[in-house]
Structure 1
């Protein structure tokens, strides 16, 4: 029995090896009409399974396969299995697409992503395209940074070896939850990684573990984080610090945070801690499961008078408590009125951001909301 040619290329039949079985009697005479059954190891095979020998004692079949690897051919004549077992090597086809085979994982800003990110080239049949040696280029797909200005560092263009490109030193320089990477190479279908988190180098990194993005606005992002010491969820608000936000802005920030921390009331979200670095201002508050008043207004039916009066009474009580301490809210709007799971009001985001905006601490000119308005539009006090 013979099998030729070998190797062949993975295909749906375009590349095949011919299997030839010759059956002779004990005197060397050709045996015609002998039943022959063929089998092959491995997966993805298309093999002529059986037949009978012709007048020359020969039965031929073909083997093609979508699965790369070495295939061992076995022939059975009647009830006798032949001792000869030729092999056929199936090489992968040309690369058609890239896939992440080692996904990026959670990393601290500036540190290399470990384990190293690995991208593999596959042929149309999901075999590793070992002949692929072109360059794979890595880039940020979804930029989860606050201002969407993150940079991908390290070696971002790597030539593949045996179809595999390894990126040992990728870094990202901005905090964010939900980053993705993209891998591309000329002529191939690219791939996008699973989401991953870049943890902050804020001083609070030892205090909190960031879990997810909760909300974001024009100049801030709120994360659900877990207080490491007390093992409880908090809302962690992060705001970028512009280059002109010097010692005066930082002092004003800490004074505003200290004043807000004194404010305690059943309808106020308490402030727990605050801090500043050369790149960010941040503070943490109680995490309030539920929704905002804005969510309720946008997705629910009109509120009845009794419900409106109840909410207004609770909001007014919270503001009255703040005013008695000399604190104004400065940005009261439905998104800053939270409703807990019982429907009770929790007013949040008292005046700290306003203090920073007033000092120009964010470094991006006039602060505007998503509609281009410099302040909260219809919710701006007279």
Structure 2
């Protein structure tokens, strides 16, 4: 009896046994070679090329968005370079009827899910038309409150389950978001009700400037799923095939009534946290940057496709030029949007405006008409 009690109290062994379950899923290594044939997803040559096209396009979009921000033509912007596999391969595993609840770095997923690019630019400027989401595009606006989208995703997923929809709600946060109460509450709720949700924690190693090792004692973020009673998996987030495979499997589980999954993607943002004055050189070393640049998802996937005869420099140049042209047209369309007025914000905020605001509304309306 005493021996059994001693074994039960050996928490280090228990923790080690838990952590042992969370080995990193990888399919492509840094040289673009398949190292895990058994996990290889079923994607056609056309699908593989399309995924690469989206990744290249999004890298150009990131570069142009940074330039536009510096020119004062965009407002808030969170760089995405380095996280293309984590963001786009997970979205690529979705269907049109699935619902995306993004964090503020996850605008690319919205664009590829159907949000017009010019509206993404308007959202960055704080224009109310930016998230006037078109009918049939199942997304919410990027969440600024860290982790709040996890609770919302649980609610959306439960609504889908109650309607009998064969669809999922997918949400994203960074490693910093996993330290928020909403992160645990959302997963716990979805787990308890077996709601069809996919929770993605993009571990880019720094919550603004705080290293992941200083914000959690967990060896992995994936193991945080244990407390919610749901599966968790850690994935090489610089490997688009591994991210796709994990998300596809999580979606299958969800629509088959098996409940939610937590996916931790090990990734890296090459740029600052946002363009609002963050300086990553103050908390990241050049050696660390160089180490992760060798894992670049575009380089890795390009090598894989070239070996299969599915990609070339010419194809990539075509994608780059098309992206530049699309971005030029989108920013023109954003520039042409009507100037935002105070009365616009007041009228769209309330379905039934309070009497005191009605008075203010009339005052502003009179000023705007002059």
Q: Is the shorter-chain TM-score for this pair beyond 0.5, marking a shared fold?
A: no
Considering fraction of residues, name the structure with more helix.
2
When Rg is computed on C-alpha atoms for both structures, the one with the higher figure is 1
Report the TM-score, using the length of structure 2 for normalisation: 0.22
